Chain A
Amino acid sequence: MKNSLVAIFAWIAVAVLGSAALGGIALNRGESINALWFITAALCVYAIAYRFYATWIATKVLLIDPTRATPAERLDNGRDYVPTNRWIVFGHHFAAIAGPGPLVGPTLAAQFGYLPGTLWILFGAVLGGCVQDMVTLFYSTRRNGRSLGQMARDELGAIGGIAALITTLFIMIILIAVLGLVVVNAMKHSPWATSTVAATIPIAMLVGLYMRTIRPGRVLEGSLLGVILLLLAVAGGGWIEHQPGLRELFDYPGLPLAWMVIAYGFAAAILPVWLLLAPRDYLSTYMKLGTVILLMLAIVWMQPSVKMPALTQFVDGTGPIFGGKLFPFVFITIACGAISGFHALISSGTTPKLLSNERDIRMIGFGGMALESFVAVMAIIAATVLDPGVFFAINSPAGVVGKEAADAVATISSWGFPVTVEQMNLLAQQMGEATLFARTGGAPSLAVGMASIFGSAFGQGMLAMWYHFAIMFEAIFILTTLDAGTRVGRFMLQDMLGNIWKPLGRTSWYPSVLLSSGIIVAAWGYFLYIGVIDPNGGVNILWPLFGISNQILAAIALCVATGILVKSDKLKYTWITALPLAWLIIVTSSAVWEKITSTDVRIGFLAAANDLATKLASGVLSPENAAIAPHLIFNQRLDAVLSLFFICMLWLIVFDMLRVCVRYLNGKPVPPLSEVPHQLTNMVKV
């Protein structure tokens, strides 16, 4: 009794503190605000949502049953089905879901001010993303770890399954292209960044060889060696930067770098996994965890001030980084960190095969996503502690603010965010870069933000080192996602091609490997190429497309979950997935509508294509712009078709789900629930 009273008061205190922090963030106007308030608000929101909402979903809606044997217990084969400690599963699950997305999206969305992004990250996560991950994990666990596509086919029908498969393949291609673009923009004309990123490739191979031949399977030894070499590579890059004759070898404009990334992607897809992909994944996981923890400690210790206003004038759709109004574009720009459909692919598949008890689903599904959302909050802090003028100078593409430094600072200052050429030059010099203007993509501004937080916490003398450490840290796991994504895309494509001609489906047949890898790399390579030659920075086009496809995948996962809830006679609880689903349908449909019909050339694909076509015909373009204009026009039209295709897929599966639900409620036959029958666990202490 006494304990429960204490608990009640403790939770009331958390609620009051959380509301105060949120209120402070939301109502603050005109002066800078301490970043600690963001951390406090976030932790309180997650704690309350986890303790009450997630517990309620687990006990009242899903009816999680600790006495039920999990697939890992029933099918334990010591290989893919293995009962595992929940902290270990949590670690694997988090490492799998947390990629560069939650770092890049919030940085770009900071152009609207700190408030919209922060609120969407917090509430999108606890009401949408966490629920999606947890519910998908639960349903997949009850179905022996079946994948999202298989569940869609079993529960809704063939249409759902095909839609899930095709959307996954497309989102993978767009994702890889946009991440490749982020890396290219970070390495552009930066010998330090380029040489460091280049060095990660031989380092990963060395670690791969070490773990394969010298000391087979000694993962920790190999990783330690790799991490030390990576840190040396960051320092070595600084040395190269100052060596005339050597620095030119690593000084490239965007286009050659894009070709190198494309060539690299192809090589990585056909090399054996032990040589490059697996060792680099170990390194990127340690770097990611280490940097995120370091960033959190530095923010708590330094308590930097957030200088960006709560809202900027760009909520009206005139933003320099990407065009479009606050609604729906903030919800599209921040996908990972709030709700990401990709997570449904991880939550169905690998993770459910490791659970030793259903009880762990709340912590791994809901808790894992809450932690990822927290990473996104830290990214938004790192972006908004910069002077807004500096933030916009780094992120605005040359096509918007002008090519010359003087033009750019004049434009940005005229928006009310004062910045000077001297200030930018000094900053670039401190960071060891030639220039920081027009480094669109989020990685450089995040690196500057992280460097200034780390620098103030651990000493200003090492700013350039911290900056390039942050660039290396982002690049290394972007490249891991690029390799892994190309490989998975290849497997999916081979699976599909195998239906046409059997040998093409054999994952070990070399011609088929080459062909399918080539197709996947060509597909993302095309978007990367266009993104690099586009004077408006490419991110403006690619990131919204990625956000839309990722949210549509989330909507598909929520459709499957809603269908299962209805078929399990839980109609009155379907809102837990139906509400976020409805929101995603509204957001993605209106975003696609705007991307297709808007007459603003910075928003509408077709408007931009027509505008450029008119300019090309009337001969007002400069020769170099006229040369690339046909490519850009074709690409804008292709993007319009692609987004239309995505939204058709979504509506198709939504109607399919509604059809199944209505039939079920009218007592007509529907595909039966594919849940595996209850089997009592043998676990003694339940």
Chain B
Amino acid sequence: MSKNLTKKSANDSLPSVSDSSLPVFKTTLDINQRIAQSATLNINKTCVEPLPLWSYIWRVIRELSGDDAYERYIAQHAISYPDITPLARKDFFLYQQQQKWSGIQRCC
């Protein structure tokens, strides 16, 4: 394990997930399809039946924390790129964290 850790730290731009393995989907969806499909974007819109309050809150918590990020990625991927195999959950998670912490994310 420790060997694995040092190797990781030696190259923290994630060798296992290269940029090409995560397709940049210039999404073919327009914003309305996107809203209909997104967990929280559609809450106040008409396209789905109204959710009970607790389930809305739960969705907001999951999306805020990033807990449902993989599900959202898969859903989006299935529509934009049906022929390409999506990333595994673990690879996606690692990729996403690397992406997030490459810029200024926290302030004083």
Residues of A within 8 A of B (CB): 69, 73, 75-80, 83-85, 87-88, 91-92, 96-101, 175, 179, 211-213, 216-220, 223, 270-275, 277-278, 281-282, 335-336, 340, 342-343, 345-346, 349-350, 356, 480-481, 484-485, 487-488, 491, 507-508, 510, 513, 546, 550, 681-685
Contacts A/B (CB < 8 Å), 12 sampled? A76-B27, A87-B40, A92-B64, A211-B93, A217-B69, A270-B12, A272-B12, A277-B101, A350-B105, A487-B101, A508-B13, A684-B32
The answer to whether the Cβ of B3 comes within 8 Å of any Cβ in the partner chain is no
Considering only CB atoms, which chain B residue lies closest to A681 in the complex? B31
Given the contacts A78-B73, A87-B60, A685 and B45 also touching, CB distance less than 8 Å: yes
Q: Are A97 and B64 in contact (CB under 8 A)?
A: no
Q: Are A342 and B12 in contact (CB under 8 A)?
A: no
Chain A residues within 8 Å of B103, by CB = 349-350, 488, 491
Given the contacts A78-B80, A356-B31, A507 and B13 also touching, CB distance less than 8 Å: yes
Q: Are B108 and A101 in contact (CB under 8 A)?
A: yes
Residues of B within 8 A of A (CB): 5, 8-13, 22, 24-27, 29-32, 34-35, 38, 40-41, 43, 45-46, 60-67, 69-70, 73, 76-77, 80, 89-90, 92-94, 97-108
| B15 smallest CB distance to A (angstroms) | 8
Chain B residues within 8 Å of A487, by CB = 101
Alpha-carbon distance A179/B26, docked complex (angstroms) = 41
Q: Are A273 and B107 in contact (CB under 8 A)?
A: no
Chain A residues within 8 Å of B24, by CB = 77, 79
Considering only CB atoms, which chain A residue lies closest to B106 in the complex? A484
Alpha-carbon distance A487/B106, docked complex (angstroms) = 11
Chain B residues within 8 Å of A91, by CB = 64
| A644 smallest CB distance to B (angstroms) | 23
Q: Are A217 and B107 in contact (CB under 8 A)?
A: no
Alpha-carbon distance A162/B102, docked complex (angstroms) = 20
Considering only CB atoms, which chain B residue lies closest to A685 in the complex? B45
Given the contacts A101-B108, A278-B97, A217 and B63 also touching, CB distance less than 8 Å: no
Q: Are A340 and B31 in contact (CB under 8 A)?
A: no
Chain A residues within 8 Å of B12, by CB = 270-273, 508, 513
Chain B residues within 8 Å of A273, by CB = 12, 97-98, 100-101
Q: Are B27 and A99 in contact (CB under 8 A)?
A: no
Alpha-carbon distance A76/B84, docked complex (angstroms) = 18
Chain B residues within 8 Å of A681, by CB = 31
Alpha-carbon distance A88/B41, docked complex (angstroms) = 9
Chain A residues within 8 Å of B66, by CB = 219
Chain B residues within 8 Å of A345, by CB = 104, 107
Cβ-neighbour of B93 out of A101, A216, A271 (below 8 A): A216
Q: Are B80 and A340 in contact (CB under 8 A)?
A: no
Alpha-carbon distance A484/B104, docked complex (angstroms) = 8
Chain A residues within 8 Å of B29, by CB = 76
| A486 smallest CB distance to B (angstroms) | 11
Cβ-neighbour of B9 out of A271, A281, A507 (below 8 A): A271
Chain A residues within 8 Å of B90, by CB = 212-213, 216-217
Considering only CB atoms, which chain A residue lies closest to B61 in the complex? A220
Q: Are B107 and A216 in contact (CB under 8 A)?
A: no
Chain A residues within 8 Å of B93, by CB = 211-212, 216-217, 274
Considering only CB atoms, which chain B residue lies closest to A335 in the complex? B108
Known: A101-B108, A682-B31. 8 other contacts (CB 8 A): A85-B63, A92-B64, A217-B90, A217-B93, A272-B8, A281-B105, A484-B101, A488-B103
Chain B residues within 8 Å of A98, by CB = 107
Cβ-neighbour of A85 out of B31, B38, B46 (below 8 A): B38
Considering only CB atoms, which chain A residue lies closest to B88 in the complex? A216
Cβ-neighbour of A76 out of B34, B40, B43, B70 (below 8 A): B34
Alpha-carbon distance A340/B104, docked complex (angstroms) = 15
Cβ-neighbour of A83 out of B13, B31, B108 (below 8 A): B31
Q: Are A550 and B108 in contact (CB under 8 A)?
A: yes
Considering only CB atoms, which chain A residue lies closest to B27 in the complex? A76
Given the contacts A78-B77, A79-B24, A484-B101, A100 and B108 also touching, CB distance less than 8 Å: yes
Q: Are A485 and B106 in contact (CB under 8 A)?
A: yes
| A251 smallest CB distance to B (angstroms) | 30
Alpha-carbon distance A216/B24, docked complex (angstroms) = 22
Q: Are B41 and A356 in contact (CB under 8 A)?
A: yes
| A121 smallest CB distance to B (angstroms) | 15
Chain A residues within 8 Å of B92, by CB = 217
Alpha-carbon distance A83/B52, docked complex (angstroms) = 23
Considering only CB atoms, which chain B residue lies closest to A279 in the complex? B97
Given the contacts A77-B25, A270-B9, A83 and B41 also touching, CB distance less than 8 Å: yes
Q: Are B31 and A481 in contact (CB under 8 A)?
A: no
Closest 7 pairs between A and B when the two form their complex, measured CB to CB? A101-B108, A508-B13, A216-B90, A217-B93, A85-B40, A484-B106, A273-B101
Q: Are A508 and B11 in contact (CB under 8 A)?
A: yes
Q: Are B89 and A346 in contact (CB under 8 A)?
A: no
Q: Are A96 and B105 in contact (CB under 8 A)?
A: yes
Alpha-carbon distance A278/B100, docked complex (angstroms) = 9
Q: Are B107 and A219 in contact (CB under 8 A)?
A: no
Alpha-carbon distance A65/B34, docked complex (angstroms) = 20
Chain B residues within 8 Å of A346, by CB = 104-105, 107
Considering only CB atoms, which chain A residue lies closest to B62 in the complex? A220
Alpha-carbon distance A345/B45, docked complex (angstroms) = 32
Given the contacts A92-B64, A508-B13, A683-B31, A275 and B5 also touching, CB distance less than 8 Å: yes
Considering only CB atoms, which chain A residue lies closest to B28 in the complex? A76
Alpha-carbon distance A684/B33, docked complex (angstroms) = 10
Given the contacts A220-B62, A278-B97, A487-B101, A343 and B107 also touching, CB distance less than 8 Å: yes
| A455 smallest CB distance to B (angstroms) | 29
Cβ-neighbour of A510 out of B10, B45, B76, B99 (below 8 A): B10
Chain B residues within 8 Å of A349, by CB = 103-104
Alpha-carbon distance A491/B105, docked complex (angstroms) = 13
| B77 smallest CB distance to A (angstroms) | 7
Q: Are B106 and A281 in contact (CB under 8 A)?
A: yes
Cβ-neighbour of A78 out of B11, B43, B63, B76 (below 8 A): B76
Q: Are A683 and B35 in contact (CB under 8 A)?
A: yes
Q: Are A491 and B106 in contact (CB under 8 A)?
A: no
Considering only CB atoms, which chain A residue lies closest to B5 in the complex? A275
Chain A residues within 8 Å of B38, by CB = 83-85
Cβ-neighbour of B27 out of A78, A484, A546 (below 8 A): A78
| A309 smallest CB distance to B (angstroms) | 29
Chain B residues within 8 Å of A684, by CB = 32
Q: Are A342 and B13 in contact (CB under 8 A)?
A: no
Given the contacts A78-B27, A101-B108, A219-B65, A491 and B76 also touching, CB distance less than 8 Å: no
Given the contacts A83-B41, A218-B67, A99 and B60 also touching, CB distance less than 8 Å: no
Chain B residues within 8 Å of A92, by CB = 64
Considering only CB atoms, which chain A residue lies closest to B41 in the complex? A85
Alpha-carbon distance A69/B13, docked complex (angstroms) = 33
Residue of B29, B70, B80, B94 contacting most chain A CB atoms (<10 Å): B94
Considering only CB atoms, which chain B residue lies closest to A357 in the complex? B31
Alpha-carbon distance A92/B106, docked complex (angstroms) = 10
